[in-house]
A and B are shown apart, each in its own frame.
Chain A
């Protein structure tokens, strides 16, 4: 069965370190998204991609970057982790039509000490 996976599921790191969160989907979807989830803010879009070599900034992109070298993967990098980036991160994908649902991964809980 097609799926979307994230790794690691839990990560503890220190301020200033570079961290990369992996997202891998086997739906063959063109579109992939990264969100962060914080109490009181719901889900906020960090970056998204509409295809290989395409990346776009979302509403909270500062301090994050992504790259899309193939259809299946969209890794999220925190260049220099900050305590404000402690959050739960979700990756999602969809097939492109606006009425199509997004499929979500199980999430990565990141703690920056």
Chain B
């Protein structure tokens, strides 16, 4: 079945460091891919998305490119801030999947130190 695998956390970085959180997926066809962020004590909110191969999603300085050849959707940011400390979830669903049921990775906790 479909699945999403993320790098294990926690990831600890200093402010202004470069961030990469790896995400790979297993799915038939051409799923849509998402990154969600969960700040402490809150629900999840969409960070960025990509709906077809080679699309690049971007938001708030974060980027991720849909790579079908490597079945990956790695999250990157050039210079992290303390306010980026959160849990990040990679997710997918299928265009043919009625209702947009999502499959999530296990989440990666990011801690940014001043």
Contacts from A to B (Cβ < 8 Å): 30-31, 33, 40-45, 48, 50, 90, 92, 94, 96-102, 104-107
Contact = CB atoms under 8 A, between A and B. Distances in A.
Interface residues of B, number: 26
Contacts of B105: 42
A92 B44 CA distance: 9
Central interface residue in B94, B96, B98, B100, by most chain A CB within 10 Å? B100
A107 B43 contact: yes
Contacts of B102: 33, 45, 102
B107 A96 contact: no
B95 interface: yes
18 contacts: A41-B106, A42-B107, A44-B104, A90-B44, A92-B43, A96-B98, A96-B99, A96-B100, A98-B93, A98-B96, A98-B100, A101-B46, A102-B44, A102-B46, A102-B100, A102-B102, A104-B43, A106-B42
Contacts of B32: 98-99
Contacts of B94: 98
